[in-house]
Amino acid sequence: MVADEIHWTLVSRVTGVGAVSVYGIAGVMILSGPVMLGARLLAGADVLVMGIVFTVLLLPLGLALWASTSVEREQNRQLDAFGVPAVAEVIELGRWDDGESAGVELELRVSGAGFAAFEATWKRSSSLSLRVGTRVGAVVDPAIGLFRVEL
């Protein structure tokens, strides 16, 4: 596969503590509706409508959050096992605001041994230490097109 054909995917670091937190939130989302429906059936509580709404809305969102976190954890394990050290240099810096969150949009040039240099965009919270020319560590798995910025 030619380096230009690789679709590079930025992976966020998800620590064990962070994963447990997200899995806990996802578990609450998944179980809240069914627990309310069970309370209606077993205790006669007046939560039928809320149980149905919570099940219909939160169950799929909780499952999606759980699955997304599982994929990110697997990608992090892949990078930890097979990734090669690299350097990510900020070549362009801009602002972004999508209405819900805002920060900086960094255009990075990622280079290292064993793969052709590539450019990628990274949106993150603002930081005074990030300027054009700033170099930070990265890990790249060129075999499957994953990379993670180590900041």
Instruction: Report percent pLDDT > 70 for the chain.
Output: 97
Q: Are 105 and 123 in contact (CB under 8 A)?
A: yes
CA atoms within 13 A on the CB side of 66: 15
Residue 1's pLDDT is what? 44
Rounded to the nearest 10 degrees, the angle between the axes of helix 48-82 and helix 16-43 is 160
Output DSSP code: residue 99.
S
Residue 66 has pLDDT above 70, yes or no: yes
Element (H, E) at 82: helix 48-82
Mean pLDDT on 30-57: 90
Residue 4 has pLDDT above 70, yes or no: no
Task: Give the bridge partners for 121, in sequence order.
Answer: 107
Residue 100 has pLDDT above 70, yes or no: yes
Interval 109-135: pLDDT, tens: 999 999 999 999 999 988 888 899 999
Q: Give the span between the Cα atoms of 88 and 135, in whole angstroms.
A: 6
